[in-house]
């Protein structure tokens, strides 16, 4: 394994037994638990930004004989998405009314030692919200409650039976942009109990605070987890321009025009002399 | 060589953008047009979000038109009175167009309307331009004289109220047609990100029958005002103008335009129009194909999430 930088704050949560040793250099060998850290907790988006690759590394303390699985989930800030469906009318492909999906993170990645479905059962993954299929994406504006077969307050979606197609499309389109990913072999053990996983952020990764969860599963049950934080932010001139365009949009627009007119004027001056 | 665009939020190869600016600038200098209709589709192919592409390249049109107007006005070839009235219409049109574009984006129909506008306007103009110039080339080859042109202007130009004198254009007509023309082009400028020269020029020449020597300079003057307005509005209302992107484009653009303008003297006017016709028609058909070809994915992300 490559040399480890000084560990950024690594949170160890849900240790099932009373923690005796507080000194991090002393391994608590008797408790099954996971500990993890990121090589970088701040990703800076500057003019040379072409995406980033961060390594999440950690250790599993496993005193038992039963093997344990590690699942890494990285979740970006929420970014609602509007989707349209194209359909052919009289030979022309037209867009449907857009449907707003909420609860979709702007970035979502899972990485695990085995395919998620082998690690834990459907209900368990659904409860924890782990895995692309278990993201809590919903279109609340399409929901309505009706009375059906004499049962009151049945929640139905106006999208009807195609609802799952829509939901899958959200994930598929984000996957295509590199914003969603699932790597069933992404967590690799490099040494006894030491593992690493790579987090690849594309250029289009949204800025904001990201949460990285590391789950330790044994016999299909989550036994330990750790949570880390990661921020992606624009820095330097990129940040200045972005904030200027957002906070003083009218001044920014006028400046753009002046710059353009000035460039045009300069060019006509320069080339006339030649 | 990659640079991150702060508003578009994508990373692109900057020499490619400067070259693209240069290429479009060359075309615009060669044919005396803004070249916006060519720029927006190429930017989208390069992966820039369409809304940012349309808004940012409007300022490229401002730059290339500014250097054009300066050289035309020094020769006295700009009718500022006519241009001013058309620009007034253009500002109104840009106001309407930017709001229309916002509304279409909210409905998820923006890309469709843009594709349709490209297909209709570029298709029709390109076809007419190609037909007219090919006929002229053929006539010259055969040595037959040009048919006598109808010299009369449409009568309704005179029937409308608010008649004004436009001495430089040699016109005494109502102010309403130039105002309406400007407004129409202003709307297109906001939706398609074009200057609108490809519509202005034929209308000014064949419908208003302005004096040919002032047509190009006057249309460029109106285009500057309209696209400047569009840029400010797009920045103010939609925050979609990327100053880094537009700077790269206009840096290449102003240089390319000068070379294009120098080369234009080597070709006959009708040959240039035939070439331009082919380009215009090609872009129109390319953009329109989207409407008829089965998309690879039936679902698409609609740009713009309502605030909040």
Q: List, as one string, the DSSP characters of B273-294.
A: HHHHHHHHHHHHHHHHHTTTSP
Asked if A126 is an interface residue toward chain B (Cβ–Cβ < 8 A), one would say no
Does a structural domain hold residue B52? yes
Residue A17: the pLDDT is 47
Q: Any idea where the domains of chain A sit in the sequence?
A: 33-77+104-131+171-234, 235-274
Per-residue tokens: A135: 């993201």
Residue B146: the pLDDT is 66
Confidence of residue B149 (pLDDT cuts 50, 70, 90): low
Residue B19: the pLDDT is 92
Q: What residue of A is the nearest CA neighbor of B224?
A: A261
Confidence of residue B194 (pLDDT cuts 50, 70, 90): confident
What number is the average pLDDT over the span B275-282? 90
Does a structural domain hold residue B137? yes
Number of structural domains in chain B: 1
Architecture of domain A33-77+104-131+171-234: Sandwich (2.60)
What share of chain B in percent tops pLDDT 70? 94
Does a structural domain hold residue B182? yes
Does a structural domain hold residue B246? yes
Residue range B11-60, pLDDT digits in tens: 888 899 999 988 988 888 787 777 788 888 888 888 888 888 888 888 88
What number is the average pLDDT over the span B264-288? 85
Residues of A in contact with B305 (CB under 8 A): 79-82, 100
The torsion of the CA quartet B241, B244, B248, B251, rounded to 10 degrees, works out to 90
Residue A144: the pLDDT is 65
Burial class of residue A92 (count of CB atoms within 10 Å of its CB; 0-12, 13-18, 19+): middle
Query: What's the start-to-end Cα distance of chain A, in Å?
Result: 62
Residue B178: the pLDDT is 84
Model-level ipTM above the cut of 0.95: no
Minimum-distance CB partner of B291 among A83, A93, A254: A93
Residue A73: the pLDDT is 92
Does a structural domain hold residue B305? no
Residue B265's domain comprises: 11-142+154-289
Minimum-distance CB partner of A260 among B59, B107, B291: B59
pLDDT at residue B68 greater than cutoff 80? no
Q: What residue of A is the nearest CA neighbor of B308?
A: A80
Does a structural domain hold residue B295? no
Residue A155: the pLDDT is 64
Q: Which residues of chain A have pLDDT under 70?
A: 1-30, 141-148, 150-160, 272-274
Measured in angstroms, the CA of A138 and the nearest CA of chain B are apart by 15
Cβ-based neighbours of A112, under 8 Å, separated by 6 or more: A69, A70, A71, A72, A119, A183, A184, A185, A186, A187
Cβ-based neighbours of B83, under 8 Å, separated by 6 or more: B218, B219, B221, B222, B225
Q: Which of the pair, B32 or B300, is modelled with greater confidence?
A: B300
Does a structural domain hold residue B303? no
C-alpha to C-alpha distance for A241 and A222, rounded to whole angstroms: 45
Interface of A with B in 215-254 (CB under 8 A): 234, 237-239, 241-242, 245-246, 249-250, 252-254
Asked if A143 is an interface residue toward chain B (Cβ–Cβ < 8 A), one would say no
C-alpha to C-alpha distance for B18 and B37, rounded to whole angstroms: 17
C-alpha to C-alpha distance for B193 and B220, rounded to whole angstroms: 15
Residue range B86-143, pLDDT digits in tens: 899 999 998 999 889 888 888 878 778 888 888 898 899 889 889 988 888 888 888 7
Residue A108: the pLDDT is 93
Minimum-distance CB partner of B243 among A97, A234, A256: A256
Decide: A212 and A227 in contact? Cβ < 8 Å. yes
């Amino acid at each position: 394994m490559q040399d480890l930088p000084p560990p950024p704050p690594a949170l160890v949560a849900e240790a099932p037994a009373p923690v005796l040793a507080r000194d991090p250099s002393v391994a608590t060998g008797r408790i099954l638990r996971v500990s993890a850290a990121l090589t970088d907790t701040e990703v800076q988006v500057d003019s040379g930004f072409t995406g980033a690759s961060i390594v999440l590394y950690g250790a599993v303390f496993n005193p038992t004989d039963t093997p344990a699985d590690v699942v890494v989930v990285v979740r970006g800030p929420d970014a609602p998405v509007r989707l349209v469906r194209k359909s052919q009318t009289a030979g022309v492909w037209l867009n449907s009314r857009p449907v707003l999906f909420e609860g979709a993170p702007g970035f979502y990645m899972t990485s695990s030692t085995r395919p998620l479905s082998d690690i834990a059962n459907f209900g368990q993954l659904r409860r924890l919200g782990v895995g692309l299929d278990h993201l809590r994406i919903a279109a609340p504006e399409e929901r309505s409650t009706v009375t059906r077969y004499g049962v009151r307050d049945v929640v139905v979606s106006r999208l009807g039976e195609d609802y799952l197609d829509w939901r899958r499309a959200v994930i598929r389109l984000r996957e295509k942009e590199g914003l969603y990913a699932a790597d069933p072999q992404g967590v690799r053990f490099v040494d006894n109990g030491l593992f690493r996983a790579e987090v690849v952020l594309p250029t289009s990764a949204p800025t904001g605070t990201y949460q990285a969860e590391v789950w330790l599963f044994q016999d299909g049950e989550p036994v330990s987890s750790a949570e880390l934080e990661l921020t992606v932010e624009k820095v330097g001139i990129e940040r200045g321009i972005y904030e200027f365009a957002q906070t003083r949009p009218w001044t920014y627009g006028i400046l753009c025009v002046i710059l353009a007119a000035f460039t045009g004027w300069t060019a006509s001056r320069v080339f006339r002399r030649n | 060589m990659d640079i991150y665009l702060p508003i578009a939020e994508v990373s692109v190869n900057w020499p490619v953008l400067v070259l693209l600016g240069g290429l479009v600038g060359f075309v615009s200098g060669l044919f005396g047009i803004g070249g916006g209709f060519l720029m927006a589709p190429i930017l989208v192919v390069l992966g820039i979000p369409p809304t940012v592409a349309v808004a940012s390249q409007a300022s490229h049109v401002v730059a290339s038109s500014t250097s054009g107007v300066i050289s035309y006005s020094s020769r006295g070839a700009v009718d500022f009175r006519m241009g001013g009235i058309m620009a007034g219409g253009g500002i109104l049109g840009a106001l309407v167009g930017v709001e229309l574009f916002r509304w279409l984006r909210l409905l998820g129909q923006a890309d469709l309307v843009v594709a349709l506008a490209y297909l209709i306007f570029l298709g029709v103009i390109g076809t007419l331009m190609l037909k007219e110039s090919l006929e002229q080339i053929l006539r010259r080859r055969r040595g037959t004289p040009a048919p006598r042109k109808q010299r009369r202007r449409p009568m309704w130009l005179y029937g409308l109220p608010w008649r004004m004198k436009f001495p430089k254009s040699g016109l005494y007509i109502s102010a309403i047609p130039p105002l309406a023309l400007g407004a129409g082009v202003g709307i297109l400028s906001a939706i398609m990100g074009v200057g609108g020269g490809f519509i202005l020029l034929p209308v000014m020449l064949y419908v208003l029958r302005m004096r040919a020597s002032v047509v190009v300079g006057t249309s460029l003057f109106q285009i500057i005002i309209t696209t400047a307005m569009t840029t400010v509005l797009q920045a103010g209302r939609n925050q979609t103008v990327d100053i880094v992107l537009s700077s790269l484009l206009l840096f290449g653009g102003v240089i390319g335009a000068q070379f294009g303008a120098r080369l234009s003297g080597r070709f006959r006017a009708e040959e240039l129009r035939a070439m331009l016709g082919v380009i215009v028609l090609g872009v129109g058909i390319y953009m329109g194909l989207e409407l008829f070809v089965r998309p690879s994915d039936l679902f698409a992300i609609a740009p713009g999430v309502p605030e909040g």
